[in-house]
Amino acid sequence: MKNTYKLGLVLTLGIGLLIILLMAAKVSQFKAMGEASKAGGYPPTTVSTFTAETQNWEQTLHAVGSIQPVLGVELEAEVAGLVTAIHFENGQSVQKNDLLLELDVRVEQAQLRSAQAITNLAQLELNRSQTLRESGSVTQSQLDRAEADLEKALAEVENLKALIDRKRIHAPFDGELGIRHINIGEYIQSGAAIVNLQSQAQVFVNFTLPQQALAQLQLGLPIRLSTKVYPGKVFEGSLTALSPQIDPITRTVEVQGTFENPDALLRSGLFVKATVVLPDQQTVTVVPATSIIYSAYGNSIFKVEPQLDESGQQQGLIAVQELIRIGERRGDFVSIPAGVTAGDTVVSAGGFKLRNNSPIVINNELAPKPRLDPTPDNS
């Protein structure tokens, strides 16, 4: 009985001691919270920072356009006829005046031989008439008629030769052929498509800009092209033509640039993004886009300022919220026309966790470096 009483007493004392320890721990926590409340209300928040800087941004105009070859044509049949020979392969490179296609000319060749025989006879008749005219045996009108018959025969020969030549299709310039639309033995009509021929050495880019940009445009301005077909590659050319007319419906002006294309990467019809680089540059104050806190009542940013005690001594750092005006965005940067000056230290990461005058601790070890031309691996 005594043992049971002792055991109960020990358990009671143990439980009481545990309760006292728990109460002491809670009191200690409440004291720490009270001290933190007196010091500023919240423990410091770890953030990354960036020092606002000035950059010289080139002024640009942006548009979307398409590629057009300087020399490009869909070869078509001038006259109807039966295809007897094809002298090219699909995608082949050809030189100017290379023979590409022949149509059946047997009828025209027979007519040409007949016309040449008539021409020879007319020449003999003219020679005879000239001799007889010298002796006065024929009249001048007979001589004139003989000369006219010869001219007529010669014209018929030239006409048949031209017709035969029109049934032989030649390359009008150096370039690359596309895929043919005809086959040997096929009878094609006049105007039938044969094959596309493109010169890839030089190309145009055609795009439009709003009429407000007309005063800034001048021939020779640099143009840069980019396309998703070749990620990360930039093609450089120049502005070579401006339309003299503004479209009365869209109020845009048509612009054309010229690009050298030695590798034949820019192909006809390719969709591209065009950037016209203007001669003037703009000096702007920039911060990373991650620094900006967006809200309905206005955009803001957190500036880093020292936290002072009652004696004016610095105790730490705080984040002070400032309203700003946002300008143009380029790459990872945003220009700030008002609210930030160069040299201000701003919170670049972690601002969403802050409130005005929140204490902060700076850690920039893992902060990514902002760039004007970011090229992330997963783009």
Number of residues that this document lists for the chain: 379
Looking at the chain, the whole-number percentage of residues with pLDDT higher than 70 is 90
Predicted pLDDT at 4:
67
Predicted pLDDT at 375:
64
Distance CA 50, CA 187 (A): 74
Residue 266 lies in a domain: yes
Residue 27 lies in a domain: no
Domain boundary pick from 135, 156, 191: 191
CA-based torsion, 262, 264, 267, 271: positive or negative: negative
Q: Going by C-beta distance under 8 Å and a sequence separation of 6 or more, which residues neighbour residue 88?
A: 94, 98, 100, 101, 177, 180, 195
Q: Are residues 97 and 119 in the same domain?
A: no
Q: Are residues 116 and 130 in the same domain?
A: yes
What average pLDDT does range 123-139 have in this prediction?
79
CATH number, position 305:
2.40.420.20
Q: Calculate the CA 54 to chain-centre distance.
A: 28
Q: Are residues 176 and 219 in the same domain?
A: no
Predicted pLDDT at 6:
65
CA distances from 236 to 103, 217, 273, 285, 372 (A): 44, 17, 12, 28, 19
Predicted pLDDT at 139:
79
Predicted pLDDT at 223:
93
Q: Going by C-beta distance under 8 Å and a sequence separation of 6 or more, which residues neighbour residue 232?
A: 375
Q: Are residues 262 and 317 in the same domain?
A: no
Residue 15 lies in a domain: no
Predicted pLDDT at 308:
75
Contact, 86 vs 195, CB < 8 A? no
Residue 145 lies in a domain: yes
The reported pTM is 0.63
Q: Are residues 138 and 184 in the same domain?
A: no
Distance CA 373, CA 231 (A): 13
3 state DSSP class of 139 = coil
With residue 54 as reference, give the H or E element that holds it: strand 53-76
pLDDT in tens, 327-372: 888 888 888 888 888 888 888 887 787 788 888 888 888 777 887 7
Domain boundary pick from 281, 315, 349: 281
Distance CA 285, CA 161 (A): 74
Distance CA 27, CA 364 (A): 37
Residue 243 lies in a domain: yes
Q: How confident is the model at residue 312 (pLDDT cuts 50, 70, 90)?
A: low
258 or 364: which carries more pLDDT confidence? Answer: 258
Q: Which residue matches tokens 């640009």?
A: 60
Domain that holds residue 222: 60-69+199-281
Q: Are residues 97 and 174 in the same domain?
A: yes
Contact, 301 vs 354, CB < 8 A? no
pLDDT in tens, 2-36: 566 666 666 777 777 778 777 776 666 656 555 55
The CA-CA-CA angle for residues 71, 218, 230, to 5°, reads 50
CA-based torsion, 112, 118, 120, 126: positive or negative: negative
What average pLDDT does range 142-165 have in this prediction?
86
Residue 4 lies in a domain: no
Residue 6 lies in a domain: no
Is residue 267 pLDDT above 70, yes or no? yes
CA-based torsion, 308, 309, 311, 313: positive or negative: negative
Distance CA 114, CA 109 (A): 9
Contact, 323 vs 330, CB < 8 A? no
Alpha-helix runs per DSSP H in the chain: 2-39, 106-135, 140-166
Q: How confident is the model at residue 379 (pLDDT cuts 50, 70, 90)?
A: very low
Contact, 49 vs 305, CB < 8 A? no
Is residue 377 pLDDT above 70, yes or no? no
Q: Are residues 137 and 122 in the same domain?
A: yes
CATH number, position 238:
2.40.30.170
Domain count, the chain: 4
Contact, 277 vs 223, CB < 8 A? yes
Q: How confident is the model at residue 206 (pLDDT cuts 50, 70, 90)?
A: very high
Residue 294 lies in a domain: yes
